[in-house]
Amino acid sequence: MKGLLPQQVKDAKAQLILGNTYHLGTRPGKDLLNKFEGLHNFMQWDRALLTDSGGFQMVSLLELAEITEEGVKFKSPYDGSECMLTPEESIEIQNAIGADIMMQLDDVVDVKETDYERFKTATYRTTRWLDRCMKANKNPDRQNLFPIIQGGLFPDLRKISLEQLIARDAPGYAIGGLSGGEDKDKFWPTIHLCTDHLPKNKPRYCMGVGFAVDLVVCCAMGVDMFDCVFPTRTARFGCALVDNGQINLKSREFMSDFIPIDEKCDCTTCQNYTRAYLHTIVTKETVACHLLSIHNIAYQMRLMKNIRESIKKGCFVEFVQDFMSTYYKNQEYPQWVVDCLAAVNITLKK
Amino acid sequence: MKFVVEQASKSSGRLGRLTGLRSQPTTVHDTPLSMISTLGGSAPHLTQDVLHLVVDKEVPVCFPAQHFCDLTKTLQKFKKGVTHFSALKSHSACVTVQDATKMTPSGYNEKKGISVWTYGGRQIIAAERYMELVEAMQPDWYEALNDADTDVNSSKKRILKSVMNSTLMLDQCIDISKKKQGLREAALFAPLLGGHNEDERKRYSKAIIENIKNESVLGFSLLGLHTNGATAEKLDSKLISNLVKVSLDPLPQDLPRQASGAWNPLTVITLVQQGVDIFDSSFPYLVTERKGALVFPISLTKEYIDEKFLKRENLGHQNKKLKSENNAETCHEDRQRNKDGEDAKENIPEDELSSAYEMCLKGKRYENLMFL
Ligand SMILES: [Zn+2]
Ligand SMILES: [Zn+2]
């Protein structure tokens, strides 16, 4: 994790971290990872690891990526030569990484694309690629391969994808193709449809979701796992996550604010540093980015822990109500949040 | 501040103890020592908890005033000083004028004040304002404001200007320090200046002796040999040896001498031999920034250093030479892989290797050596 030692990530109570197959496949590369018997060993991480398939990174990072039935074709950013990431190659790298949870290579379509036919192709192709991935997986006993539900924002395609992927027995399922800036009114019904159909006894992982409100709402719909760069990305811009959203420490209002980001937070940043000090170094010194990342990750981990605790105690509904009324000043809830929570029988306080 | 020299000799430097600091009344710091250099109040890239994995919680920290020029009011309101403000409260603090890790642009100092580069840009700071900032920062010791804008190329005229400006500023700082309650317990270090001119350096050091008699000055800061950043690292220790000597000779033994700057390790050793007590960590910082890892050429004999190291013109070339021979001698595991390593090393552009004390971890060449 950028700027943090593995121990600091552990101290933030992270149980599972995500590695990017595309980046790891480029450097250190699968040969070296194989030599080290995997990334756990290479980076001295003794907790769980999850890897993406590399496909999403390619399509989003490389201008020239092109998807064919065989795989994702791209020009190497290093020497310009033509390369191909096939489902088999993706799994080979992920096997070398040794992730506890692996993702199938899926046919990624920009969620804002409007062509129904493109989504339809992607939905069926993702199933075919899952079969190739499953076949290629050398360690099915210890590396859990998750299929990725596709189908864009089209309920019929999502249903087809769900039906086909559930038919292949998998240890868990990912919901893909969202969090690309789609309308929230389309986002939540899609998640809801998926969680409604996915098997109850297997983990559901919603890819790329990480805003606090989205996490709470998705948990209410029955999602179990998330990943997001948001806490660390927003840290880079000088923002710290707090109960009512985030504060930008660059703002002059913090110049003489000698309290921690959050007085109730037990992270090392809040234990030692004031807002006023952070104000003087955010976006100027790398340390500021590390300090905010530590707090933001701790915030996110604490949020999830509170969700778990509230479910255990049987007071999740109250938790959601309290969370939302703190998050939204004067209880001005966005309509999609109200609608979505109503769909799972949670009524927000007025 | 109390400083005791425990052992001193002409050729092997001196052992000392720094005690009685206002922030750490009971802590003893053994000298020669290195302070931790900071940027914006933090060790570069290191949060407080990570810093404490590497160094003692009490090690002195150096805060360049230039990073805090806009924070006088904030620090006054905060009341507890710069170490508490920067979350390094267990440490003692030294304030210098300029940041030794960054080259100070030349030609911007005036009689009325010194140019410093803050996050917002250049500012001219005069003694009054500087001392107000120092008071708010509450260090254990600090440099008097000074014009140290001289290096090996400086003209006689520039050196005289530097000396004249600095003498004036030293007097002003001493005056102010006596008036300000908050500065009573902070030790003032007088700068030692005179550029690369032995006569001027000698004259300058002699001239400040008066201030020592009336106990206004409690230490010294060796300046004006470089203009910070990599300019210090590139200095040949033989070239500055006499300059340091004439600066330090007139001084009493029982006051500490500081020499901030990214001196390379060989120069540090030379300076210790000459009687310098306090350094900072700007050299490790510069090496880190260029993705280097310090590995000392401990197998080199003195003769080897003298003959092969100092007399070579081309830094890059000598680095490569030193590195491969050193690797082969000091690390037997490395030797087994030397073949792979050597081949890879031949492809390194020479300018990437910027000192004989480091291995550059950038690029692909160490991928085969990772099992060390
Ligand atoms: Zn915190
Ligand atoms: Zn080390």
In chain A, which residues have their Cβ closer than 8 Å to the Cβ of B46?
287
Nearest CA in chain B to A286: B45
Does A28 contact B at CB distance below 8 Å? yes
Q: How confident is the model at residue B297 (pLDDT cuts 50, 70, 90)?
A: low
Q: Is A243 a catalytic residue?
A: no
In this predicted model, what pLDDT tens digit does every residue of A193-246 receive, in sequence order?
999 999 999 999 999 998 999 999 999 999 999 987 899 999 999 999 999 899
- ipTM exceeding cut-off 0.95 for this assembly: no
Distance B285 CA to ligand 2 centre (A): 14
Which distant-in-sequence residues (6+ apart) come within 8 Å of B295 by Cβ?
A: B326, B357, B358, B359
Considering only B61-70, B204-213, B253-262, which range has the smallest mean pLDDT? Answer: B204-213
Does B80 contact A at CB distance below 8 Å? no
Burial B247-267 (b: 16+ CB within 10 A, else e): bbebbeeebbbbbbbbbbbbb
Helix axes A316-327, A286-313, angle to 10 degrees: 140
Residue range(s) in chain A whose domain bears CATH number 3.20.20.105:
14-228
- CA angle, A45 as apex, A40 and A51 as ends, to 5°? 55
Distance A300 CA to ligand 1 centre (A): 10
Rounded to whole angstroms, the Cα distance separating A45 from A23 reads: 18
Cis ω on the peptide bond leading into residue B44 (within 30° of 0)?
Answer: no
Tell me the two tokens of residue B289: 């920034």
* Cβ neighbourhood burial of B192 (10 Å; 0-12, 13-18, 19+): buried
Q: What does DSSP say about strands A245-248 and A148-149: parallel, antiparallel, or unpaired? A: unpaired
**pLDDT reported for residue B363:** 62
Going by C-alpha positions, the residue among B292, B236, B244, B238 that lies closest to residue B264 is B236
Name the pTM for this structure. 0.88
Does B351 contact A at CB distance below 8 Å? no
Q: What whole-number percentage of chain A has pLDDT above 70?
A: 98
CATH of A14-228, one of 3.40.50.300, 3.20.20.105, 3.40.50.620, 3.40.50.2300: 3.20.20.105
Q: What whole-number percentage of chain A has pLDDT above 90?
A: 71
Considering only A103-112, B115-124, B232-241, which range has the smallest mean pLDDT? Answer: A103-112
The tally of CA atoms less than 13 A away on the side-chain side of residue B144 is 30
Q: What are the structural domains of chain B?
A: 2-289 (3.20.20.105), 297-360 (no CATH)
In chain A, which residues have their Cβ closer than 8 Å to the Cβ of B45?
3, 286-287, 290
Q: What whole-number percentage of chain B has pLDDT above 90?
A: 72
Q: Average pLDDT, whole number, for chain B?
A: 85
In this predicted model, what pLDDT tens digit does every residue of A115-151 receive, in sequence order?
999 999 999 999 999 999 999 999 999 999 999 999 9
Going by C-alpha positions, the residue among B311, B302, B309 that lies closest to residue B264 is B309
pLDDT at B319 over 50: no
pLDDT at B326 over 50: no
Q: Is A11 a catalytic residue?
A: no
Q: How confident is the model at residue B354 (pLDDT cuts 50, 70, 90)?
A: low
Does A293 contact B at CB distance below 8 Å? no
Rounded to whole angstroms, the Cα distance separating B225 from B231 reads: 9
Burial B44-58 (b: 16+ CB within 10 A, else e): bbbbbbbbbeeeeee
Q: How confident is the model at residue B357 (pLDDT cuts 50, 70, 90)?
A: confident
In chain B, % helix, strand, coil (3-state, to 5) comes to 40, 20, 40
pLDDT at A304 over 60: yes
Distance B357 CA to ligand 2 centre (A): 13
Q: How confident is the model at residue A8 (pLDDT cuts 50, 70, 90)?
A: confident
